[in-house]
Structure 1
Amino acid sequence: MTIKAIVFDLDETLTDRRAAIDLFIQRLITPYFPDSDEVTKLMITERFKEADQNGYRDKREVHQMLVQHLPWMKPPTVDEYLTFFRNEIPQCIKAMDQLISVLDFLRSQGVRLGMITNGTVKVQEEKIRHLGIRSYFHTIVISEEVGMKKPDPEIYRIALQRLHTLPSETWYVGDHPRNDIVGASRSGLQAIWCSRDREPWDDTLEAKPYKTIHKLEELISIYTHHHEQQE
């Protein structure tokens, strides 16, 4: 089957969120923990990452955990913290290696590109603007905008409808085993797992990835090989 479209996750797929979080933590320490020594900074970094759960924990719950476990002189209110996070994190965002070259290659092949991302419109739109990649995408579906989150099958259906492609003609590329790979597979898309340096795939999950990549640029060779097989 010819692949007409590829839909991407955003965080930890197109963006290196881990690098962004390291920078965000530095920005958090500067105003709120200005006198921290290196040991304290390391402790703050560890506690933040434990609370953050790579972005999958609700930000209000993250705030609550940080208030309890960090040595604040005066902790921010939840609204102050959310405002700080939403303003700062897009400025910290880092592109995955070879992001633009991968997008350039796929566009040159006539592949329609889409994106599905869980998050707020303000934050995710700012990340996309900061990366300078909006023009590559035929459609971008943000969970807050449509009132549902991955792995809800409806959010994949919306992207497919906007791309005017069938699930069998579409690949989905993402990092989260359940939200991305299982969710996309349930909707009939062939899902490619961006594993980076994670543990091997959990075979107890109901679906398995069509392919696994460790770097985004591997997508070029996978697409090229598939395309050659179709000729």
Structure 2
Amino acid sequence: MTIKAVVWDVDDTIFDYTTADRAGMRGHLAAEGLLDGYASVEQALARWRELTDQQWARFASGETTDWEEARRDRVRAFLDAPLTHEEAEAWFHRYMGHYEAAWALFPDVLPVLDTLAGSHRHAVLSNSSIRVQDRKLSVLGVRDRFESVLCAAELGVSKPAAEAFHAACDALALPPHEVAYVGDHPEIDGQGAADAGLFSVWIDRAGGSAVAVPGGDAAPGRPTDRLVGLRRIVSLGELPGILRPDTRFGAPSTFR
């Protein structure tokens, strides 16, 4: 096996989205005087995430083709208020100020990108929009590490569809079996990439899930028992040891 390139997911893979989202929502609700409307910040964040998923599903299905309007609808639903276009947009941008203040890479990202810089090419495939992720990667200081950034909003197809992963391979002019995909979601990223023929690596930062792979074991009854054909790691520090067996930077995961 020769892996020539790594395609990366962004949110909760290289970018600590969950921490930034939680911190941003906490700061925004406090500034807007909305904390008393929820039992906890976690409850408010769960509602915000639920609405984010709903609006993304509308966009991905083609129910709406206006990303910005879907975003404004999310704000209206969250506040349960008939906001104007301008009011919803202003509210969202105030939230973004708090959210962006908490943006950060995971600490294992730069060391791995540095280690693999001379041996592997790099690209991004995200279920978002290029405008969002291109700016995020630029602010985080890593945009120039990636040859291309592909996103579902512009591709017209989203993970876990094989077409999305194959578009990333086409951008690199490489066949799927020479490309690794690294993502945090076991089904959307891990199984999707494996089914598309890529060398699939699931980054399970929580470290508490089980995954079944050929020749491996998994705890019974877990949703991940059905997953096959992917490698599970709990830190990106394990990645060079999987892609480059001769490296001394990290070791292959014991959860393969």
Partner of 2:168: 159
Partner of 1:93: 103
After superposition, give the CA deviation of every residue in 1:76-104 in whole Å (9 maximum; x if it has no partner).
Answer: 95434444445553443210122111101
Partner of 1:66: 78
After superposition, give the CA deviation of every residue in 1:113-137 in whole Å (9 maximum; x if it has no partner).
Answer: 1110111333222211111101111
Partner of 1:20: 20
Which whole-Å CA distance do the structure 2 matches of 1:45 and 1:181 have between them? 30
Which whole-Å CA distance do the structure 1 matches of 2:113 and 2:156 have between them? 28
Q: 1:191 and 1:149, CA in 2 relative to 1: closer, same or farther beyond 3 A?
A: same
Partner of 2:239: 219
After superposition, give the CA deviation of every residue in 1:109-162 in whole Å (9 maximum; x if it has no partner).
Answer: x20111101113332222111111011111111222222221222221211111
Which structure has the higher relative contact order (CA within 8 Å, separation 6+)? 1
* Residue identity in the other structure for 2:28: L
User: In the alignment, which of 18, 38, 44 is matched to residue 48 of structure 1?
Assistant: 44
Work out whether 1:106 is the aligned partner of 2:126.
no
1:15 is displaced (CA, Å) by 0.9
Query: 8 Å contact 2:25–2:41 — kept in the other structure?
Result: yes
Partner of 1:192: 201
- Matched residues, percent identical? 24
- TM-score, normalization: structure 1? 0.80
Which whole-Å CA distance do the structure 2 matches of 1:226 and 1:187 have between them? 27
SS across alignment from 1:151:
coil
Paired residues, number: 218
1:203 is displaced (CA, Å) by 4.1
SS across alignment from 2:236:
coil
1:41 is displaced (CA, Å) by 9.2
SS across alignment from 1:225:
coil
Query: 8 Å contact 2:22–2:45 — kept in the other structure?
Result: no
* Residue identity in the other structure for 2:156: G
Q: 1:89 and 1:152, CA in 2 relative to 1: closer, same or farther beyond 3 A?
A: farther
In structure 1, stretches of 5+ residues that fail to align are none
Q: 1:226 and 1:147, CA in 2 relative to 1: closer, same or farther beyond 3 A?
A: farther
Partner of 1:210: 230
Comparing 5-14 and 180-189, the one that deviates more: 180-189
Which whole-Å CA distance do the structure 1 matches of 2:72 and 2:89 have between them? 9
- TM-score, normalization: structure 2? 0.73
* Residue identity in the other structure for 1:222: I
Q: 1:6 and 1:46, CA in 2 relative to 1: closer, same or farther beyond 3 A?
A: same
Q: 1:154 and 1:85, CA in 2 relative to 1: closer, same or farther beyond 3 A?
A: farther
Which whole-Å CA distance do the structure 1 matches of 2:101 and 2:8 have between them? 21
SS across alignment from 2:122:
strand
Partner of 2:138: 129
